[in-house]
Structure 1
Amino acid sequence: MRQHYRLEGLSCANCAAKFERNLRELPSVEDVQLNFGASKLMVEGEASVKEIERAGAFDDIKIRFEHEKAAAPVPFWRNKEVQSMAYSLPFLIGGWIVFLQSGEESYWAVLLFALSIAIGGWRLLLTGLTNLFRFEFDMKTLMTIAIIGAAVIGEWGEGAVVVFLFAVSEVLERFSMDKARNSIRSLMDIAPQQAAVLRNGKERMVPVEEAEIGEIIVIRPGQKIPLDGTVENGSSFVNQSAITGESVAVQKAVGDEVFAGTLNEEGALKVRITKWAEDTTLAKIIHLVEEAQAEKAPSQAFVDRFAKYYTPAIMIIALLVAVLPPLAAGGVWSEWIYRGLAVLVVGCPCALVISTPVAIVTAIGHAAKRGVLIKGGVHLETAGKITTVAFDKTGTLTKGTPEVTEVKTFSYMDSSTLLSYAAAIERYSQHPLGRAIVEAAKDLPSIDAEQFESITGKGVQAVVNKELYWIGRADERMSITKEMNETIDEFRKNGSTVMLMGQGEQILGAIAAKDTIREESKSIVQKLYEAGVKKTVMLTGDHALSASSIGKAVGIQHIEAELMPQQKLEIIRKIQQEDGKVAMIGDGINDAPALAMADVGIAMGGAGTDAALETADIALMADDLHQLPETISLSKKTLKIIKQNIAFALGLKVLALLLIIPGWLTLWMAIFADMGATLIVVLNSLRLMKGK
């Protein structure tokens, strides 16, 4: 049995790893997947909720079922860690007052410090001692050794300050991680939990989980749409910013698709449900983003490997600092043990371990709220290293809604008959050019076609009136006259795509369709160069003349035309070998091999396309090219912040260690430095929530 849970109280990456280890040791658990970034847990087996919570009792981790509503947030002052910290503070202050008045030998000072340590740090000490007996060395083990060591050498005041500051850092770290996760939690609260469903002619408010596909729901002005569906009745403007990031409302009328979590602004709508609550576009976005946050980026994988050896190394260094000087140079044991304890405290890997995941979680969540779905830290990092962007033409640089501009016959058929036959064949096609032909023939007599077949990269064919016809490009066996060539070249120079229609080896006519270039395409290409992209390429199956006309108009440097899907893949591979990292941007359905081969596959219009959500590394939900340079800039900023975090975390450790040797760094200064490093790393990462 497989169960999914959400976790409360999970703030520490080390604690998450320990929790996962504890779960794997349970005999009733077969498999475990813990997502620290999203605070999610998958458990396969027969483990009960009590057993799972017992495995996380060391950090007071609580669980609830994935779709169970979260309990009201506990006020800050009622948090157990905050209460322990608050209760220990008077004893800490009292201890220092007595100490300053009575000196080091005061038993009252020692008693007050001991009470402060016990009240504020009993959970820490209990966990640390347990870890020590199990030879598990994490930050709580290091802290426990340092506190006990401080007490043994008579530094009770220092030990109490360390306990208090460590509690402060834990509380602030938990608060900061919750802040980073809120980008996704806010998405979860967007869609209404109930829907007004029409049943037997009457409206009934039912939980969205109980609404069924095919039922009609009513959405009044000012209400949010609870489920995905199509408009059956009414017209209104709908704000889709929750899904696509677009701030401008979109007009919806009968037949248009609407998404759960979007806001109906003006008119009343009746919507027929097309997806279950757990399958809505919003639900898929949340699921994919949470999975993305769990996927380790290359820099995070490096930090994890580094931290594995870092903690034991710190313990060895601390031991050497405490033992070598007294043994080799006659140093005072108490002084060097104190410095060794300071090494343990300052060596805590908190800031280092959290430096990458907090940045990745924040960046992916921030992008999702603005209509860009990034499906993993690895793709987020790679996007910042892109040197070449390859564009599909139709639906990417152009709007993807071409219109037939000219029909030319070269045979016994007149133009209307040729268009009618072409529409009969293309009625079964999903290609934008096919839809353009069907739309152009909507006022002509309808003809039926049979045995439709799509031939990848070449076109389509079908039987009409017992004869086999094809639409696409001519091959070398077909004789094209000078008149045909002149007509076709004239169409292509105007930027039109030409589709030939024929029977066997005979060409019957040509249909020209022109797609409108997106208004933003030219400026977007320029912004990509400004964002650090060195090269742009257009990959299209269209004729070289048509492709060149559009490519030059938008500022594309290199144009590759008349390509089969396999040829696009080969060009992507060649660019990778010659120029480095490549991003391929298309519609998420066509050009699948090229999208898969590219270092980053980017799909346009993910909001309306399940295939885009599933296959692309990055989906631009609003079908808006402006999101492309913004995404690359976000990636570069994320990489920069991760490097800053790692450099700062390690740099501060090295500086503190150097200050310990001459005795300039006290225990409480060491913990303050560690706490400060963790907070600065988190706050630096939260900068990713600002701006575009």
Structure 2
Amino acid sequence: MNAEFDTSTQLTAQSRRRWWQSSEMVALAVAAVLLAAGLAVEWTIHSEPVALTFFWATIVIGGAYPLRDAIRAVRNRRLTITVLLIMAAIGAIALGVIEEAAMLVVIFSLGEAMEAYATDKARGSISALLELAPPNANRLTAGGFTETVAVEALHPGDVVLVRPGERLPTDGTVTEGTSWVDASPVTGESVPVEASAGAEVFGGSLNGNGVLRVQVTKEHYDTILARVIEQVEEAQANRSRTERFADRFSAVYTPAMFALSVLVALVLPLFGFEWREAIYRALVILVVSCSCALVISVPVSVVTAIARGARDGIMIKGGIYLERLADIKAVAFDKTGTLTRGRPALDQVTAFGGTTEQEALALAAAVEAGSEHPIAAAITAGARDRGLDIPTARDARALPGAGMEAVVDGRAMHIGRPSDADRTDPQVGAAVAGAEANGCTAVVLREDTRPLAVLAVADQLRPDAHSTIAELHELGIERVLMLTGDNATVAKTTAHALGLDDYRAELLPEDKSAAVRELREQYGVIAMVGDGVNDAPALANADLAVAMGAAGTDVALETSDVALMADELDRLPAAIRLSRRARNNIKINIALSLAVVAILIIAALAGWMTLTTGLLLNEGSAALIILNGLRMMLPGRGETRQKRTA
């Protein structure tokens, strides 16, 4: 078979042709019929001239394409398996065993077809993803009517109508309607999510029981689904150490087997063997040593594992990262948006000096109204939820690292993190300590320098965070810890609640990078898990950068080594299980292929098999390798979850 395993995903119409539309497959089919006819003539009417005519026709028709490939390889100064098989066929013809030469051509071509089928099968789930997006869409016109247009004709700003049970044609934002949407083909999320006005949705998702109007936000070639396909194509070019070793081994192994066959042909006559017998055994060695199984043993497992991950919402950027996933010794998590929801909510307000909680909250919301910080959003949302009237602030100004200041009703107000003076104040310090002990982040509202209130904001833990940490420990990860810029008290509470091995708090971006480097020296391969946007230096310094919720973040999809498409943390243990299963699959494939080659070469040296028998056993071992590799397409334990209906 081909010495190189072509892993580029072909999504064109040509790659999806039927077998009878391929000239190579037609030639193989004709050759197989001619071979069968020759064998039938030989076994029934015993007419050797007629049988030989069929065998010669088989060789000419069936050998045309393998001969062409062999000539190309020789011109490029490459000694491939195809070259060796053609040489074996020519040698068989020279020895006068035309029937065996015909069998070699047909069986070899059939083996190549089987390899191509395995490759297409492994890529099939990726190709199927692209086909999930419907080719046409119902675009709304200015007059309120709908027109059917090709998806390629949609542009940002267009509005499409999606009826119940239809798939969304492209990425966009819901402008009208309410429904549940199953985005599992894109994100791997196990549960359909509610979609209403303002919700972001992805092309290829299945609409539920409502009618949606969706405003297009991306061109058709830039949707998440299209980019997933592109990323998988690029991923298959990032080859692991095992794949590169297999290539290097094949580059040495093939010439070595050619040299061995030549040596056998020259040396055996010196020990009394006839030249014909010596050459025949040399040809058998050529045939059995051309191990298609050895060539395909690693790539078929890698390609299927990457495809399996993509189906489950786990984007692995290549074999090298698939391999690293299996070797992880430590995992460092960012806190906000990774272990927590990243959407803090107001938990408590403690007022001082005659200021009521309602007054303090209204003043704080007025100051924070102009800020985009998550804590500011939590405070303003808390004030609105309580029905408070929020006054208008003037001269609002953000103070980097120190909060916000503004003038509210003629009063100079400031809100920000607690200072050393706040912590030493009996009232303020007690309120700050109480908030932080409960896992909240505390901010202090001041008028000039006088504290008016302490506001506690809590970021809720992800519901699957605790179980994910427990699964990582079960998988034998030596160290699972949290790296956060939050204060030590909040970090300690969060780490204790989740069962983390360690935490490091109040870290600047450069501190997180230093921590990652230190952990790598101490434990070995380390993964950093974040949102793919923040903590870029730490992600870059880790052996494996894992991004959460990459379906909603372009940067995350581009910069991570492994992207968890859904906002679900438990996909990380699933990814590690998948990688370890792929590694075991590869080891089995390599061991089996090497064992078969060793046995067949010994049998060939001893003269225990014919050319046809050797090739059949060789192709049979390749079939076993392919089937074992394709097992990766089946879900393993803990890699998928039962989907629940909304």
- Specify the code of the residue in structure 1 equivalent to 2:390: P
Give 2:562's aligned residue.
618
Q: Secondary structure at the match of 1:356?
A: helix
1:587 aligns with 2:531: yes
**Cα deviation per residue 1:59-84 (whole Å; 9 max; x = unaligned)?**
xxxxx6xxxxx269443455434433
Distance 1:640 1:449 in 2: 64
Matched length:
631
Distance 2:58 2:159 in 1: 62
1:690 aligns with 2:628: no
Give 2:642's aligned residue.
none
Deviation for aligned residue 1:296: 1.4
Give 1:169's aligned residue.
111
Deviation for aligned residue 1:411: 6.9
Indicate conservation of the 8 Å contact 1:129/1:144, yes or no. Answer: no
Deviation for aligned residue 1:686: 1.1
Q: 1:168 to 1:461 in 2, by over 3 A?
A: same
Distance 1:574 1:470 in 2: 38
Give 1:45's aligned residue.
none
Give 1:674's aligned residue.
618
Indicate which of 572, 580, 593 corresponds to 1:628.
572
1:302 aligns with 2:245: yes
1:316 aligns with 2:259: yes
Indicate conservation of the 8 Å contact 1:77/1:83, yes or no. Answer: yes
Give 1:38's aligned residue.
9
Q: 1:688 to 1:331 in 2, by over 3 A?
A: same
Q: 1:321 to 1:429 in 2, by over 3 A?
A: farther
1:14 aligns with 2:37: no
Structure 2 unaligned blocks of 5 or more: 640-646
- Specify the code of the residue in structure 2 equivalent to 1:493: A
Q: Secondary structure at the match of 1:255?
A: coil
Deviation for aligned residue 1:601: 1.5
Q: How does 1:273-672 map to 2 (within 5 A)?
A: 273-326=216-269, 328-409=270-351, 415-416=357-358, 418-420=360-362, 422-423=364-365, 426-427=368-369, 429-442=371-384, 443-448=388-393, 452-453=397-398, 455=400, 458=401, 460-461=403-404, 464=407, 471-474=415-418, 480-501=424-445, 509-672=453-616
- Specify the code of the residue in structure 2 equivalent to 1:321: V
Indicate which of 96, 116, 120 corresponds to 2:62.
120
Q: How does 1:82-93 map to 2 (within 5 A)?
A: 82-93=25-36
Q: How does 1:204-283 map to 2 (within 5 A)?
A: 204-283=147-226
Distance 2:561 2:445 in 1: 37
Distance 1:559 1:311 in 2: 52
Distance 2:125 2:563 in 1: 18
Distance 2:154 2:542 in 1: 41
Indicate conservation of the 8 Å contact 2:422/2:429, yes or no. Answer: no
Structure 1 unaligned blocks of 5 or more: 1-10, 17-35, 41-63, 65-69
Deviation for aligned residue 1:165: 0.8
**Cα deviation per residue 1:12-55 (whole Å; 9 max; x = unaligned)?**
56385xxxxxxxxxxxxxxxxxxx33137xxxxxxxxxxxxxxx
Q: Secondary structure at the match of 2:424?
A: coil
Indicate conservation of the 8 Å contact 1:461/1:468, yes or no. Answer: no
Give the alignment's TM-score, normalised by structure 1: 0.84
Distance 1:584 1:450 in 2: 40
Indicate conservation of the 8 Å contact 2:365/2:390, yes or no. Answer: no
Indicate conservation of the 8 Å contact 1:142/1:345, yes or no. Answer: yes
Indicate conservation of the 8 Å contact 1:165/1:672, yes or no. Answer: yes
Q: Secondary structure at the match of 1:295?
A: coil
Higher relative contact order (CA 8 A, sep 6+): 2
Deviation for aligned residue 1:453: 4.6
**Cα deviation per residue 1:297-348 (whole Å; 9 max; x = unaligned)?**
221122122222222222112211211222x424321112112112222222
What is the identity percentage for the equivalent residue pairs of Structure 1 and Structure 2? 38
Give the alignment's TM-score, normalised by structure 2: 0.90
**Cα deviation per residue 1:333-391 (whole Å; 9 max; x = unaligned)?**
11121121122222225322322222222111221121112222211111111111112
Q: Secondary structure at the match of 2:236?
A: helix
Distance 1:454 1:531 in 2: 44
Distance 1:374 1:559 in 2: 27
**Cα deviation per residue 1:439-496 (whole Å; 9 max; x = unaligned)?**
12334425346675574xx454455569987654345587732332222111111121
Q: Secondary structure at the match of 2:338?
A: helix
Indicate conservation of the 8 Å contact 1:605/1:622, yes or no. Answer: yes
Distance 1:349 1:470 in 2: 74
Distance 2:289 2:394 in 1: 75
- Specify the code of the residue in structure 2 equivalent to 1:617: D
**Cα deviation per residue 1:129-148 (whole Å; 9 max; x = unaligned)?**
45446643112111111000
Q: How does 1:27-176 map to 2 (within 5 A)?
A: 36-39=7-10, 70=13, 73-77=16-20, 79-96=22-39, 107-132=49-74, 135-176=77-118
Distance 2:200 2:232 in 1: 23
Distance 2:555 2:367 in 1: 25
Distance 1:72 1:296 in 2: 23
Indicate conservation of the 8 Å contact 2:24/2:65, yes or no. Answer: no
1:181 aligns with 2:123: yes
Indicate conservation of the 8 Å contact 2:483/2:512, yes or no. Answer: yes
RMSD, aligned CA: 2.8
Deviation for aligned residue 1:177: 0.9
Q: 1:391 to 1:155 in 2, by over 3 A?
A: same
Range with greater deviation from structure 2 (467-476 or 108-117) = 467-476
1:200 aligns with 2:142: yes
Distance 1:268 1:281 in 2: 22
Q: 1:304 to 1:413 in 2, by over 3 A?
A: farther
- Specify the code of the residue in structure 1 equivalent to 2:10: S
Give 1:23's aligned residue.
none
Q: Secondary structure at the match of 2:132?
A: coil
Distance 1:606 1:260 in 2: 15
Distance 1:14 1:98 in 2: 38
Q: 1:159 to 1:305 in 2, by over 3 A?
A: same
Deviation for aligned residue 1:188: 0.6
Distance 2:607 2:45 in 1: 25
Deviation for aligned residue 1:97: 5.6
Distance 1:72 1:634 in 2: 28
Q: Secondary structure at the match of 2:63?
A: helix
Q: Secondary structure at the match of 1:585?
A: strand
